[in-house]
């Protein structure tokens, strides 16, 4: 370690306390390896400030020493955005206070290190919901959710994380604190600074706190599971429900037959929802804050009409909270059970909602032609046009041989997405994994605008360097040295 770096760590330890500047390799381990074990990072230290002012101090000192900073929340990201390859990891985990809950303004002010579940629970205490909901909600932290503009299962009704943010507090690359913690529904006093930081994956500033929207808690909620003959039929159903039920339609999740099969094969407690076999399934949730609304009757009426017109083949509507949960269990088990069928090549893509069925059909066909026997597991947030277009290895293939074809399938799938004016990263972000893929597909003017913004806001390139967009920086190297595990 160069002397300047040990000086830096000494300065940080003097302000934060030695125990919050971690250099012990064993203690650092959890901050260096990410969720999918695709990368192992390296860092001088893990630094854990406890307040916004301490975050600002750390950034100022790192800026002085020209040492890179990788901000980290719960380290649950799926694109390698939190993996360090030099410099320090700045963990926000100790900034975990709920600063204010204002049910009357339908807003909550939280620090970046709050676990998502904590935010949900604080909303619940005032009979509201914070609607962001995703698989890692018990361990991901809200700062990371905001920095990656996380999606999840409630986007159809409540929007992406971006849409849930009213205000932000951000430490800039030079250590200044921007206090934008306003809880306003309307504010046209100049440029929209907050959306610049939301989704920037820690490359433009470090989010330390946020004001988030709350919503009335739904008092009525009904879940249905529907079998259709094709993704196009499912799209027809979605369109008709959207037309008649509007925002009561909270979720419209898609599963192909293969997905339901592997859930029923592996997931504990999974029960077959419909007697027959269908090519395409949809999980539908409707909800309303009005407890007197007969949602079940409304949904029955809509699904009845869809059955009569031949749009759907079969459907079941839950009659209790427990049945609601049992149907959701089928969808939520899917992430875990895929691994039990062997290697999985994953894509997180979106297309216009009108094209989502065409996309599933075209991309499935192209992949099955490219590798006979490959098992397409294209599922997800159909109503948002967001498909997790995952490929499970052929039954008899060597796992590593299959995974070696990741780049080849990227090209097949992403070319189709691109031709449909879609996105190669719908909800997981860019990070390391998709940085160079983005450079291939993104409009060059847009990429150049991104570089302009990065250079304007972080001229030393010390905030999460090498992630999202490559810029020419003196320090550290633009390309990460992380290696695949």
Of 154-173, binders to its own copies (CB under 8 A) are 155-156, 160, 162-163, 172
- Residue number with CB closer to its own copies (25 or 190): 190
Per CB under 8 A, 305 contacts its own copies = no
- When asked if residue 265 is in the footprint of its own copies (CB under 8 A), the reply is no
Nearer to its own copies, 398 or 448 (CB): 448
Contact between 178 and its own copies (CB under 8 A)?
Answer: yes
Residue 362 in contact with its own copies, rule: CB under 8 A? no
Which value, in Å, is the radius of gyration of the alpha carbons in the chain?
A: 23
- The residue within the footprint of its own copies, chosen from 455, 471, 475, 478 (CB under 8 A), is 455
Q: Using the rule CB under 8 A, is 102 a contact of its own copies? A: yes
In whole angstroms, how close is the CB of 456 to its own copies at the nearest point? 4
Is 438 a binder of its own copies (CB under 8 A)? yes
Whole-Å CA distances, 227 to 234, 241, 281, 285, 316: 8, 15, 5, 15, 9
**Nearer of residues 172 and 255 to its own copies, judged by Cβ:** 172
Tell which one of 75, 145, 364, 425 touches its own copies (CB under 8 A).
425
DSSP string, 255-289: EEHHHHHHHHHHSTT---SSSS--SEEEEEEEEES
SS3 at position 142: helix
Question: Which residue from 188, 268, 320, 400 is in contact with its own copies, where contact means CB under 8 A?
Answer: 188
Q: Is 98 in the site for its own copies (CB under 8 A)?
A: no
Longest dimension (CA), the chain: 76
The token duo for 255 is: 């599963």
CB of 32 to its own copies, least distance (A): 24
Quick check: 123 binds its own copies (CB under 8 A)? no
**377 in helix, strand or coil?**
strand
Query: Nearest approach, Cβ of 217 to its own copies (angstroms)?
Result: 9
- The sign of the torsion formed by the CA atoms of 200, 201, 206, 211 equals positive
* Contact residue for its own copies among 11, 296, 442, 475 (CB under 8 A): 442
Q: Yes or no: say if 262 and 336 are a contact pair by the CB < 8 Å rule.
A: no
Q: How far apart are CA 165 and CA 179, in angstroms?
A: 14
Q: Which of residues 233-252 bind its own copies (CB under 8 A)?
A: 235, 239, 242-248
Contact call for residue 124 and its own copies (CB under 8 A): no
The reply to whether 340 sits near its own copies by the rule CB under 8 A is: no
Verify binding: residue 43, its own copies, rule CB under 8 A.
no
56: which residues sit within 8 A by CB, 6+ positions away?
Answer: 171, 175, 176, 177
Q: Which two tokens stand for residue 226?
A: 């529907």
Using an 8 Å Cβ cutoff, are 124 and 131 in contact? no
Residues near its own copies (CB under 8 A), total: 96
Q: What angle do helix axes 231-245 and 295-308 make, rounded to 10 degrees?
A: 140
Q: What is the DSSP string of 17-68?
A: -GGGEE--HHHHHHHHB-TTS-EE---SEEE--SSHHHHHHHHHHHHHHT--
Minimum Å gap between C-beta 386 and its own copies is 5
**Residues between 274 and 293 with contacts to its own copies, criterion CB under 8 A:** 288-293
Q: Give the separation between CA 477 and CA 465, rounded to whole angstroms.
A: 8
Tell the smallest beta-carbon distance from residue 124 to its own copies (Å). 14
Stretch that binds its own copies, among 28-36, 133-141, 402-410, 444-452 (CB under 8 A): 444-452
């Amino acid at each position: 370690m160069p002397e300047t770096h040990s000086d830096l760590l000494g300065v940080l330890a003097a302000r934060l306390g030695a125990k919050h500047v971690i250099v012990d390799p064993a203690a650092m381990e959890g901050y260096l390896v990410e969720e999918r074990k695709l990368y192992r990072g390296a860092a001088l230290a893990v630094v854990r400030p406890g307040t916004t002012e301490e975050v600002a101090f750390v950034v100022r000192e790192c800026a002085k020493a020209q040492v890179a900073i990788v901000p980290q929340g719960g380290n649950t990201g799926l694109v390698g955005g939190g993996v360090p390859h030099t410099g320090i990891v700045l963990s926000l985990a100790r900034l975990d206070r709920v600063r204010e809950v204002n049910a009357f303004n339908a807003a909550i002010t939280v620090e970046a290190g709050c676990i998502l579940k904590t935010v949900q629970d604080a909303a619940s205490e005032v009979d509201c919901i914070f609607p962001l909901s995703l698989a890692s909600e018990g361990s991901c932290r809200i700062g990371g959710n905001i920095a990656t503009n996380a999606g999840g299962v409630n986007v159809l009704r409540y929007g992406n994380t971006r849409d849930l943010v009213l205000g932000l507090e951000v430490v800039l690359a030079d250590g200044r604190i921007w206090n934008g913690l306003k809880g306003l529904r309307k504010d046209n006093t100049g440029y929209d600074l907050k959306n610049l930081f939301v989704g920037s994956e820690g490359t433009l500033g470090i989010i330390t706190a946020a004001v988030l929207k709350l919503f009335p808690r739904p008092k009525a909620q009904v879940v249905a599971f529907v079998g259709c003959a094709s993704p196009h039929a499912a799209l027809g159903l979605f369109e008709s429900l959207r037309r008649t039920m509007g925002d009561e339609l909270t979720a419209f999740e898609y599963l192909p037959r293969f997905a339901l099969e592997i859930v029923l094969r592996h997931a504990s407690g999974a029960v077959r929802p419909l007697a027959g076999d269908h090519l395409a399934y949809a999980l539908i949730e409707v909800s309303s804050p009005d407890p007197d609304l007969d949602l079940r009757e409304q949904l029955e009426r809509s699904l009845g009409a869809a059955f009569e017109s031949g749009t759907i083949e079969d459907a079941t509507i839950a009659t209790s909270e427990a049945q609601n949960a049992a149907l959701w269990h089928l969808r939520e088990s899917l992430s875990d059970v895929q691994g039990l069928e062997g290697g999985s090549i994953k894509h997180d893509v979106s297309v216009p909602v009108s094209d989502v069925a065409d996309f599933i059909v075209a991309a499935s066909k192209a992949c099955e032609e490219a590798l006979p026997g490959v098992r397409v597991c294209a599922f997800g947030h159909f109503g948002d046009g967001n498909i997790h277009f995952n490929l499970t290895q052929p039954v008899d293939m060597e796992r590593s041989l299959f995974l070696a074809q990741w780049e080849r399938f990227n090209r097949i799938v992403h070319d189709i997405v691109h031709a449909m004016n879609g996105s190669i990263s719908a909800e997981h972000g860019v990070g390391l994994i998709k940085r160079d893929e983005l450079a291939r597909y993104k409009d060059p003017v847009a990429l150049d605008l991104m570089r302009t913004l990065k250079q304007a806001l972080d001229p030393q390139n010390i905030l999460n360097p090498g992630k999202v967009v490559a810029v020419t920086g003196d320090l550290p190297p633009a390309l990460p040295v992380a290696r695949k595990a």
